[in-house]
Amino acid sequence: MYLLNAQRNLPECHRFGAGRFDGSGDQGIRQCAGPPALMSAQQTTQAPVVPGMRPVVHRLVAHLELNGDLMNPPSAGKLQQTQPTGPKVLMRMLARQLLQGLLLRFGQFNGTFHGQAGGQDEIASQTRHSEIRLLDTLILTPAQVGKLLELADTREATATSPLRPYVLRLALVLLYTAGLRRRELVRLTLADVDAHAGVLRVRESKFHKSRWVPLSCGARRELRRYLVRRLAAPLDTTPSSPLLCNLHHGLRGYTGTGLRRGITELLHEASIRGVDGRVPRIQDFRHSFAIESLMRWYRQGADVQSNLPKLALYMGHVSIVSTAYYLRWTPELQELASNRFAKRFGYLVQGEQ
């Protein structure tokens, strides 16, 4: 299963600009924003609360209120009037405000709180939109992708598609471990591939942006194995010829429709479906890549927030706002995030002061 270790992607030890994909070096973009406002007393609409979260949230709110006004943290001037000044006082104030911001953001992410801006209709509309997006997206697991790779090896080559099993296998690898868009994948040429360095060049993608995509060790091996057959006679080996090709009416690249049809057949045969019986879409591989990257950082104890700009850069996004579309609150991710939260702030839930 060395290949599925490629999902530990954003390859470590690959430098990109001043930073590293393993989280060291440049810490990326930092956003400074104040904590969102709590619901006012006049608002009666309650956002959905995750089961079991309300007691925890109330305990944390109570803790914060014991140490200061949650809605209006004391100013430095007020502190000077009511408390002796000093580094400890300032550190307590800073820690309280940081915890407050963390709590509110955590609550918002779980639907516990919502901001004062926007009325009930807007909140309901956003909730419905989020539910639709969640229903549309199916996150694939490493075990499921492993099953797809085994089935891809069983495909038979044909006269018009002599590389069919190898094309499907490489397509699955690049979609899942590099998070490529389908259009980016089918437009790759031999000139876009550096097999020795293990890097792909994605040219003129969405919004006419180009980027370099470093591959993991497992994905590199798969690429090199594919190229042994792709560069063999009588196939065209000119730099401008497509990486994923067939011989239907001469050598030509796979279309997005043709690639989707082949992968969808594998998904049906592997019986990979959502709870509602739907089969994952090609773009769900990209969603799965983003989610797996997030979970890997939680497992490694990395700073997830500072790594998000690196994920955005790797996926070809202008900012992390676009990347956020691919991030879902899955049960596995919830467990990892909750474990980290409990490790850092669990003493508050247990009632320790």
Mapped onto helix, strand or coil, the DSSP state of residue 313 is: helix
Return the C-alpha torsion angle 19, 21, 24, 27, nearest 10.
60
Strands 19-20 and 193-194: unpaired
The amino acid present at 108, given as its one-letter code, is: Q
Reading the block at residue 217, the tokens are: 């060790």
Tell which residue, 7, 59, 350, has the closest CA to residue 174.
7
Does residue 115 share a domain with residue 155?
A: no
What's the domain count of the chain? 2
Residue 122 lies in a domain: yes
Instruction: Look up residue 196 and give its DSSP letter.
Output: T
Does residue 172 share a domain with residue 123?
A: no
Residue 37 lies in a domain: no
Name 39's Cβ contacts closer than 8 Å, sequence gap at least 6.
Answer: 113, 114, 116
pTM here is: 0.64
118 half-sphere exposure, CB direction, 13 A CA radius? 17
Phi then psi for residue 221, to 5 deg, are -60, -40
Task: Give the pLDDT score at 235.
Answer: 93
Does residue 115 share a domain with residue 150?
A: no
Reading the block at residue 202, the tokens are: 């994605």
Does residue 153 share a domain with residue 257?
A: yes
Residue 8 lies in a domain: no
The amino acid present at 207, given as its one-letter code, is: F
Reading the block at residue 218, the tokens are: 């497992």
Task: Give the pLDDT score at 209.
Answer: 87
Instruction: Look up residue 307 and give its DSSP letter.
Output: H
Cis check: omega of the bond before 214, within 30 degrees of 0? no
Does residue 154 share a domain with residue 110?
A: no
Domain that includes residue 132, residue range: 44-137+331-353
Mapped onto helix, strand or coil, the DSSP state of residue 105 is: helix
Task: Tell me how crowded residue 81 is: count the other CB atoms within 10 A of its CB.
Answer: 9
Q: Which whole-number Å values give the CA distances from 269 to 140, 151, 288, in the listed order?
A: 15, 8, 20
Mapped onto helix, strand or coil, the DSSP state of residue 200 is: strand
169 half-sphere exposure, CB direction, 13 A CA radius? 27
User: Domain end: 269, 297, 319, which one?
Assistant: 269
Instruction: Tell whether the torsion through CA atoms of 260, 261, 267 and 273 is positive or negative.
Output: positive
C-alpha–C-alpha distance, residues 295 and 311, integer Å: 13
Task: Give the pLDDT score at 92.
Answer: 57
Does residue 148 share a domain with residue 216?
A: yes
Task: Give the pLDDT score at 242.
Answer: 97
Does residue 127 share a domain with residue 63?
A: yes
Does residue 164 share a domain with residue 262?
A: yes
Reading the block at residue 320, the tokens are: 């992390």
Q: Are 104 and 96 in contact (CB under 8 A)?
A: no
Run of H or E residues at 245 = strand 245-246
Does residue 163 share a domain with residue 63?
A: no
The burial class, CB within 10 Å (0-12 / 13-18 / 19+), for 143 is: exposed
Q: Are 293 and 9 in contact (CB under 8 A)?
A: yes
Task: Give the pLDDT score at 101.
Answer: 56
Task: Give the pLDDT score at 98.
Answer: 56
Phi then psi for residue 107, to 5 deg, are -65, -40
Task: Give the pLDDT score at 208.
Answer: 84
Reading the block at residue 133, the tokens are: 């997006």
Residue 107 lies in a domain: yes
Per-residue pLDDT of the chain (353 residues), as tens digits, is 444 444 444 433 333 322 233 333 333 323 333 333 333 333 333 444 444 555 555 566 565 555 554 444 444 444 444 444 455 555 555 555 555 555 555 555 554 333 433 444 444 444 444 444 555 789 999 999 999 999 999 999 999 999 999 999 999 999 999 999 999 999 999 999 999 999 999 998 887 889 999 999 999 999 999 999 999 988 999 999 999 999 988 999 999 999 999 999 999 999 999 988 999 999 999 999 999 999 999 999 999 989 999 999 999 998 888 998 898 888 898 898 888 888 888 777 665 54
At 164, which CATH number?
A: 1.10.443.10
Does residue 210 share a domain with residue 113?
A: no
Name 341's Cβ contacts closer than 8 Å, sequence gap at least 6.
Answer: 106
Q: Given phi > 0 = left and psi -120 to 50 = alpha, else beta, which region is 265?
A: alpha
Does residue 259 share a domain with residue 234?
A: yes
